[in-house]
Structure formats: C-alpha cells, structure tokens
Amino acid sequence: MQNKVLILDFGSQYTQLIGRRVRELNIFSEIKPYNKLPEDLSGYKAVILSGSPLSVRGDDAAHPDLSAIRGKKPLLGVCYGAQYLAHFNGGSVEKSNTREYGRANLSFVKGNEPFFDKVDAGSQVWMSHADTIKHLPENTTLLASTHDVENAAFKFEGEETYAIQFHPEVYHSTDGKQVLENFLVKIAGMEQTWTPDAFVDKTVAELKQKIGNEKVILGLSGGVDSSVAAVLLHKAIGKNLHCIFVNNGLLRKNEFTDVLKQYEGMGLNVKGVDASARFLDDLAGESDPETKRKTIGRVFIEVFDDESHLVENATWLAQGTIYPDVIESVSATGGPSQTIKSHHNVGGLPDFMKLKVVEPLKMLFKDEVRRVGASLGIDKSLLGRHPFPGPGLAIRILGDITPEKVAILQEVDAIFINGLKEWGLYDKVWQAGAMLLPVNSVGVMGDERTYEKCVALRAVESTDGMTADWVNLPYEFLQKTSNDIINKVPGVNRVVYDISSKPPATIEWE
C-alpha cells in the first residue's frame, strides 16, 4: 500500500484520535512509537507528529532523528510535534504563564493558504499544553494565531512542513477535520480510497491466499468484533471456518440461545457449548475481582481447548483483535512501553494449542469494524450492540458468585436493557448494564418489612470507552424501570442510578 500516513506517537492521550480522524477521511493511517521509526518509509506519503505529556525543554525530551522525513515527505507537527519542530530548529519554546487548556478561537488566519482552506478566523480550536512557542525559527511563516497563542500555526518555507499548537483531532476543534484534509489531500496529494468495501475485498483475497484450504477455529462472543471477523472469514473460506460460542453462565438473559439463532441466520458454522456449570463451580466462594477475572479466563481456555481438539486438522486460530489492542503504546516518561495490549476475551492462550493466529480486524478501529460489518450486510441490531465485558455478569455482581445472584441480575438487566430499547434510548447510549451490590437494605412491601438486595443501573456515553459520561436518562424512564424491577424481580427492594463519569470512576464496578 503506497497511500499511507505514518503517525509518530510521543505518548499523547489523543494519538489514536489522530489515527481515527485520518481514517474518517478514507485515508489509511498507522501509529508507531516515535523511537521505532520504520526502516522502509517508501509506503508513507505523509507523516504526523503527535502531542506528548513531555516538554521539549526537559532533559527527557523525545528527540528522534527525522532526517529521513524532513523536506522529503509532507510533515505535520501537532502540539508537542509543533514545539519539537520549533525548538530543535532555532525557535524558542517557553513555559506558559498560564496553562493553555481548553477551547480557543483563531483570531488570525493567513489568507490564500491551502493549509487553512475553508477555515476562517473565529474557528474554534482545542488547546492542551503547558509550554508555548514564543519565537518561530527562521525561514518560517506564521499561519494562524489565537488571542493567547500568537504562534498557533506556522510552516517552513521551501518544504511541506507544517506545525500547529492546537489539536485538530479533538471534536472541540470544529474545523479540525478540514485542516487534516487540507494537509493530507491538498498538500500531500493523498487519495481517499480507504473504504469499508475496499477493506473487505482486499482482506478476503488475503485470507484466501493465506489460509487456503485449511481449517480455522474462532471463539465467538456474540459481540461486534468477533461477529464481523467471523463473517469476513466465512466469506473467504466458507465451511472451513468452525466457530465456538461458549456459555459461561454469566451472559445476559436468554443470550446463549438468542445469539445462536442469530448466527444460524447468518449461515455460519457455529457450535454452542454450555459450560455454565463448570464456570460457576470454579467461581464458587470467590469474591476478589481480579481472581474472578483470572478464573473465568482460565476456564474459558480449558473449555475452548477441549472443543478445538474436536475439530480435526484445524491449523488456525482466528481472533477478533482490533487496532487499539495491538498498538504499541508510549509511556508518559517518554520511554517505549514493553507491553502490547492483549485481547480481553481470548488473551493468554496456552502454548500447547499449537495453532497459527489470524486476526483479520487487527488494523481497524472500533467504529471501522462496525462500518465493515455494514458493508458485509450484517444486521444493524448486531452491529449496534453495546460492548459487554468478557467476564460477563461476574464483574457486575460485587462479591461472590452464585446461580441465584446471576438469575436475579439477569432479570434486572433484561428489564433495564429492554426498557432502553422500548423507549428509543438504546442507540443513544454507548454502554448500559446493572450491578448487583453486596448490600441488603430495609424496605416495606405491602404490610411486610423486607431486607433485600440493592441494584445500581449504569448508562454511559462514549466513543471508545477511554472516557465516558453518565447519560441523563429521563426521570419517567428511571421511575418506570425502578418500579418494574422491584415489582418483578424477587429479592430486590432498592434501585439506584450511577451518576459517575470516567474518570475518576470506571464504567464497570469491578
């Protein structure tokens, strides 16, 4: 592929957002640590330098050798990237008197400048830095300013090197996508050909060549990623794909049978394995959250391995790994992280499985997986499903797990989720669920005193799960849901709604 953007990651929390915004322009992007520059740069038509929590003035400043890029390929520095280009080329970067964080407006934009085509003075941008560029290097031209930041954007004369102190990838920068498009299309001359249809055609052809007539095993979860991976593989190798869907006893109400029926309608070769008793037996008496997760992971691997041996001559293991799972991260101290995120559902498979791994979605972000799924004709109801944790309801039951607690939470969860759908709220929420708390509280039902369980409802809006805000659900909906739960679910006499955002709280309670 000769039409790629290389994004060098200096440890910014926004680096993946840059990659996603570029992909939204139908241009393929790859993220690499700043200190692991690819030896072969011939496939990249442009390079973007990310932001960073570091300061270019610090002893630990990230300072890669860009001699193979500067002046040879279009280059854009964002925030730290802009300060890097200024500081190490004769300009001056100093600590700001006040931290420049939040919304600002461009007060000056240079006219007749392709980089700012269709972007006018007054356009809102998002700043996030403690340092600022006080003086530009020689042989540069000022392109834009804000009221507080004079050198908000500049370019080097005689080369296609640009720098901006604001973040175009953040939604708060209203014309940020336009700025990226101007740089990549008008200046770098990139073609906007990265589409879901193109990905499907290319990936199916590659899978056919890679796998040939060999058999593949895939662990289905009922979620978006594994389902899209399954349909892609099915399109490439047909009946040689063997899918296994394990019921760990911690799924939503009726989910095991409902999902199996849905997969049947998709023409997939799926075997359902009900191992709920095996999981619940191993979880009995265990209340530590991390131990519960590890127990579920271990039993899943054991069950999956038992079933995989029943597929004769299988040589491949397919996983629904997506791009954020495999991007090598850069730590806030500037050093490269030595860990690569593992897929939360199938991570840590034992060596004795002796299978080659195929990951057809490993270069896609979550929103792209959904678009590819739509291109493949997968039902909207499946593609629009909320994320659901790999350990299932085990981490929504605080404390130890019993079949009785699972049954209570399944009923509560079903009332909440079905209610969201009936009220037209489901698609406005990124993730929702109920938590069974290790708390009994006093209540009165009829003339009798009760001492029963408390459940917490949680609904958040997010784009990627890294940050999330609680959803302001209508009081009337919450009132009806609470009444339905208390009246219809024996053992529950109190319902609360979680109004915590992430951070500081996490989406799940365990």
Catalytic residue among 87, 167, 242, 343: 167
Q: Does residue 337 have a known ligand-binding role?
A: no
Annotated catalytic, 172?
A: no
Cα–Cα dist 75/72, whole Å: 9
Q: Does residue 223 have a known ligand-binding role?
A: yes
Catalytic residue among 100, 169, 307, 368: 169
* Cis upstream peptide for 503 (omega within 30°): yes
Annotated catalytic, 169?
A: yes
Judge contact between 429 and 461, C-beta under 8 A: yes
Distances (CA, A) of 204 to 1, 173, 181: 16, 37, 29
Q: Does residue 92 have a known ligand-binding role?
A: no
Q: Which amino acid is at 240?
A: N
Q: Which amino acid is at 459?
A: A
Q: Does residue 347 have a known ligand-binding role?
A: no
147 CA to centre of own chain: 34
Beta bridge partners of 101: 128
Cα–Cα dist 209/202, whole Å: 11
Residues ≥6 apart with Cβ < 8 Å to 492: 408, 412, 452, 453, 454, 455, 485, 486
Cα–Cα dist 260/279, whole Å: 20
Catalytic residue among 79, 87, 181, 343: 79
The token duo for 100 is: 């420049």
Q: Does residue 221 have a known ligand-binding role?
A: yes
Cα–Cα dist 249/275, whole Å: 7
Cα–Cα dist 312/332, whole Å: 47
Residue 315's H or E segment, with its range, is: strand 314-318
Annotated catalytic, 243?
A: no
Q: Which amino acid is at 160?
A: E
Residues ≥6 apart with Cβ < 8 Å to 462: 430, 431, 468, 469, 502, 507
User: Quick one: three-class SS letters along 236-283?
Assistant: HHHHHEEEEEEECCCCCCCHHHHHHHHHHCCCCCEEEEECHHHHHHHH
Residue given tokens 């790859």 in the structure block: 30
Q: What is the DSSP letter of 245?
A: E
Q: What is the DSSP letter of 252?
A: P
- Of the candidates 156, 6, 189, 177, the residue with the CA atom closest to the CA atom of residue 84: 156
63: phi then psi, degrees, rounded to nearest 5:
-140, 70
Q: Does residue 281 have a known ligand-binding role?
A: no
Helices 475-488 and 403-422: crossing angle in degrees, nearest 10, is: 150
**C-alpha dihedral sign at 401, 404, 408, 411:** positive
Q: Does residue 227 have a known ligand-binding role?
A: yes
Q: What is the DSSP letter of 115?
A: G
- Residues serving a catalytic function are 79, 167, 169
Binding annotation: 221-227
Binding annotation for ATP: 221-227
